[in-house]
């Protein structure tokens, strides 16, 4: 696999495009994010259709795609902050100007449905950021832990995370490319040109929201039958929120533990990523090391 390309670090005065590749966003969150980024010395701007409305989307496919491609083609734009997820980023994948993106890589920032754009970036060997978006910046500002980590990465400082253990963890060491994101989103890309599971030796990161336990289990069996679990070097299980117990499992982690029990790669449960306030930014497509030990879990780049 070709070496991962990192967008250049941001400097004072750089422009950041705020756009909405999927669902409608509360304008107050965008306004709060703009003010937070301006205080850091950057020049955020709100794309033409970022605050729009078209059904559940921020705009038509053509409008959302135009905002994204405009940002990718503009050499003064050094990062693209997605306002929120929701649903709709998948509509854009076959229309993105990949030539412009490859010629001048810039950070794509977001999570949840934005995982589709991370898969696109991975297909071009370009690092991207699975990270909180406008709502977090508006509500918590830039001094909070996750925001500070995001700022560090954007300015060229890769993180080294140390988190507490979980009873279901499986010890071991893994080294490989970070892949994954929102499980429902990325599983829908299997066997497409943007298949995020196509690599060997990846460290797979997963999280999700409002998915029933049986649906997540079905996806995990899909990965198992597709040979994904035989190829990855490690698994990071983030937060699975807003689900209900069922007759087979009362807890999502119980099911995930059983689904990967037949493999020997290290597994880190309860990692702070996903639809929670403490959503640590993860550098997708970057080479990393995962160490799961008795007393702690570390993820370093």
Per-run averaged pLDDT (10 residues), the chain, 301 residues: 91 98 98 98 98 98 98 98 98 98 98 98 98 98 97 97 98 98 97 94 98 98 97 98 96 98 97 98 98 98 94
Q: What is the 3-state secondary structure (H, E, C) of 39-61?
A: HCCCEEEECCCCCCCECCECCCH
User: Tell me, what's the pLDDT at 122?
Assistant: 97
User: Tell me, what's the pLDDT at 126?
Assistant: 98
Contact (CB, 8 A) for 51 and 27 = yes
Given CA atoms 231, 234, 236, 240 in this order, what sign does their dihedral have? positive
- Which residue is listed with tokens 């500002």? 141
Contact (CB, 8 A) for 208 and 184 = yes
- The Cα 132–Cα 152 span in angstroms is 14
Name the token pair of 82. Answer: 């997605």
User: Tell me, what's the pLDDT at 68?
Assistant: 98
User: Tell me, what's the pLDDT at 1?
Assistant: 61
Contact (CB, 8 A) for 32 and 140 = no
3-state secondary structure at position 62: helix
Contact (CB, 8 A) for 292 and 149 = no
3-state secondary structure at position 205: strand
3-state secondary structure at position 130: strand
User: Tell me, what's the pLDDT at 2?
Assistant: 77
Contact (CB, 8 A) for 116 and 128 = no
């Amino acid at each position: 696999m070709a070496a991962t390309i990192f967008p250049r670090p941001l400097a004072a005065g750089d422009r950041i495009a705020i756009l909405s590749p999927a669902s409608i966003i509360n304008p107050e969150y965008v306004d709060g994010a703009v003010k937070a980024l301006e205080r850091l010395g950057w020049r955020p701007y709100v794309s033409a259709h970022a605050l729009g409305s078209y059904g559940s989307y921020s705009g038509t496919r053509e409008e959302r795609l135009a905002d994204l491609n405009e940002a990718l083609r503009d050499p003064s734009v050094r990062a693209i902050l997605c306002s929120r997820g929701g649903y709709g980023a998948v509509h854009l994948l076959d229309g993105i100007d990949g030539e412009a993106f490859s010629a001048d890589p810039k950070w794509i920032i977001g999570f949840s449905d934005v995982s589709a754009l991370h898969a696109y970036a991975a297909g071009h060997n370009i690092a991207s950021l699975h990270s909180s978006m406008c709502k977090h910046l508006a509500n918590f500002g830039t001094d909070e832990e996750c925001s500070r980590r995001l700022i560090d990465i954007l300015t060229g400082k890769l993180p080294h995370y140390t988190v507490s253990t979980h009873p279901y963890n499986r010890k071991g060491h893994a080294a490989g490319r970070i892949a994954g994101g929102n499980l429902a989103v990325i599983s829908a890309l299997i066997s497409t040109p943007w298949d995020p599971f196509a690599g060997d030796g990846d460290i797979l990161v997963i999280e999700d929201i409002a998915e029933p336990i049986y649906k997540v289990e079905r996806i995990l069996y899909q990965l198992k039958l597709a040979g994904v679990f035989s190829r990855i070097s490690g698994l990071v299980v983030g937060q699975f929120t807003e689900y209900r117990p069922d007759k087979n499992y009362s807890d999502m982690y119980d099911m995930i533990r059983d689904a990967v029990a037949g493999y020997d790669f290290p597994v880190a449960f309860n990692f702070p990523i996903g639809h929670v306030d403490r959503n640590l930014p993860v550098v997708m497509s970057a080479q990393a090391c995962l160490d799961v030990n008795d007393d702690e879990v570390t993820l370093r780049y």
